[in-house]
Amino acid sequence: MSSPELDVVEFLLTAVIYTENRDLDERDLPPRYRRVFWEDGEVERPLTTTTNTAAAATGVDRPWEAISGLMFTDRDDFSGKIEFSDRGMAESWFLERASTDALRDNPTLTYAFAESVEGDIDYETAREQNRPIHADRVWIDSLLEEMFDEDEQEMLDLVEIRAPEEIEMTLDDLVLTADQENEIHKVVKAIEHRDYLAEIGLREIGKLLFVGPPGTGKTSVARALAQDLDLPFVEVKLSMITSQYLGETAKNVDKTFEIAKRLSPCILFMDEFDFVAKTRSSDEHAAIKRAVNTLLKSIDEISLIQDDVLLIGATNHPDQLDAAAWRRFDEIVNFPKPDSGMRADILRIVTRRMDIEEFDPATLAEATEGLTGSDLRLVLREAVLDALTEERTTLTQEDLLDAIEGFEERDNLKNMDMIEGDADALVAGGSDAPDHTHEHDD
């Protein structure tokens, strides 16, 4: 079982063992330690263990106070450095108390102590299971700093880059159709066996197009896949890169793909893909048309097998795509509005933390025909807020039914022709709302 003193001793042991053993590299450090010592694109030895670095790495507010009572610790009052006065005693103390799981989660300690403890502990397995360096925010930021000087920082406004650690949802937090699960499973297998696919010459794989109405989970599934696979997530809205800095639209497209290749392995998610077809069939500015042609060429040239980039496009309007857009993707994944059974599952999942009396998700599912996962979350939000106005944190089935009725009334108002102006403002997260999906938890 973990404790503040055990956490701080683990940190100190890890630092001294890593510093001494040049066979170890950044992949042997737990991510919580890596981010503390990462500087200028690497972790430099020696790892300096001060009260500040220990607090940042362990989350223990007063690390010295946590270990000051131990016979084998010492602190330099001037520098704030904390260390062992008797390392052998520290190792014995730690190994008597540390769990097998704690050692497995720390490749550096597994490297040092695998043969000294009982249990199935293997250094290579621990290293393989440790989150890879390319999934860390500090690694992503260091690469971006190398890529862009101050004059080019505005390019980063056109893309949103998330580290896996910044994505809360996982695939287990989603309600998926059988077809969606099957396509995701195939992609995961393709990523695991990239070398084999390259060897047999199967390179045209790893370009998915997610199609379906707003709110059905296209964006959330893509993000969850990045979290599950420990891949950086590069998200771009096509209308954005072709509307700002009009004279540099083709350059923006090139830079987007360059970012993805430099951050590889990663997922490049391109939303609003129907924008491509709209632009090709309209009288848009010539610079935008050049950018779209550059985009299609870049899609042709990028590869999961060669470049370690999984490309996912998404569109709410598949009917507007032309043949040139369709043929860029090797798999089409449909995101329909959820049926009654899926809606019931979604309701069960997103209410797991809620206290609801006489909760009957099947009845609620029947009453929400045509609603998406995003819509259902809005319904639940309204029910919670309405209950809070009455100083209640326990909801009832009736609260949820009333919220459904209120949502439908607002949805009807939104679609009335007599309403002028921005009708979507009547409903938070209208038809163009971001893709919220069927998560277990926030």
Residues 145 and 214 reside in one and the same domain: yes
Query: Can you read off the two tokens belonging to residue 348?
Result: 């069960």
User: Is 437 a member of any domain?
Assistant: no
Query: Nearest CA to 188 among 145, 238, 231?
Result: 231
Asked whether the beta carbons of 195 and 291 are under 8 A apart, the reply is no
Strand locations in 45-129 (E): 73-75, 82-84
Q: Is the same domain home to 73 and 158?
A: no
φ and ψ at residue 23, rounded to 5 degrees = -70, -20
pLDDT value at position 101?
A: 87
| Residue 239: CATH number of its domain | 3.40.50.300
**What is the domain extent for residue 358?**
340-426
Exposed/middle/buried for 18, CB within 10 Å: 0-12, 13-18, 19+? buried
CATH number at residue 366: 1.10.8.60
Statement to judge: residues 205 and 271 lie in one domain? yes
Helices (H) and strands (E) in the chain, counts: 22, 12
pLDDT confidence of residue 139: 93
Domain boundary among 312, 334, 356: 334
Looking at the structure, do residues 152 and 117 belong to the same domain, yes or no? no
Cβ contacts of 141 within 8 Å, gap of 6 or more? none
Q: What is the pTM of this model?
A: 0.82
Whether residue 296 sits in one domain with residue 175:
yes
Measure the CA angle with vertex 276, ends 273 and 278; round to 5°.
Answer: 110
Q: Number of structural domains, the chain?
A: 3
24 and 89 share one domain = yes
Q: Is residue 229 part of a domain?
A: yes
Choosing from 334, 368, 393, the residue where a domain stops is 334
In a domain, 439, yes or no: no
- Is the peptide bond prior to 46 cis by the omega test (within 30 degrees of 0)? yes
Residues 244 and 364 occupy one common structural domain: no
Is the residue at 438 inside a domain?
no
The pLDDT tens digits along the chain (442 residues) read 579 999 999 999 999 999 999 999 999 999 999 999 998 888 999 999 999 999 999 999 999 999 999 999 999 999 999 999 999 999 999 999 998 888 999 999 999 998 877 777 899 999 999 999 999 999 999 888 888 776 666 667 778 999 998 998 899 889 999 999 999 999 999 999 998 998 998 878 899 999 999 999 999 999 999 999 999 999 998 777 665 555 567 777 888 899 999 999 999 999 988 877 666 555 556 767 777 788 889 999 999 999 999 999 999 988 888 787 888 899 999 999 999 999 999 999 999 999 999 999 999 999 999 999 999 999 999 999 999 999 999 999 999 999 999 998 877 665 654 444 443 333 333 333 334 344 444 3
* Judgement on whether residues 113 and 254 belong to the same structural domain of the protein: no
Residue 211, in any domain of the structure: yes
Own/partner pairs, 337-344, CB within 8 angstroms, 24+ separation: 337/212, 337/213, 337/216, 337/370, 337/371, 337/372, 338/175, 338/216, 338/371, 338/372, 338/373, 338/438, 340/365, 340/366, 340/369, 341/365, 342/175, 342/177, 342/438, 343/368, 343/371, 343/376
Which of 277, 300, 334 is the endpoint of a domain?
A: 334
- Structural domain contains residue 440: no
Amino acid letter at 404? I
Do 217 and 306 lie in one domain? The reply is: yes
Question: Are 165 and 302 found together in one domain?
Answer: yes
pLDDT in tens, 38-59: 988 889 999 999 999 999 999 9
Looking at the structure, tell me whether residues 366 and 412 fall in a common domain.
yes
Instruction: Give the model's pLDDT for residue 154.
Output: 66
Q: Which of 306, 72, 114 is nearest to 198 (CA)?
A: 306
230 in the same domain as 329: yes
Q: Please tell me the predicted confidence (pLDDT) of residue 430.
A: 36
The dihedral over CA atoms of 248, 253, 255, 256, expressed in degrees to the nearest 10, equals 140
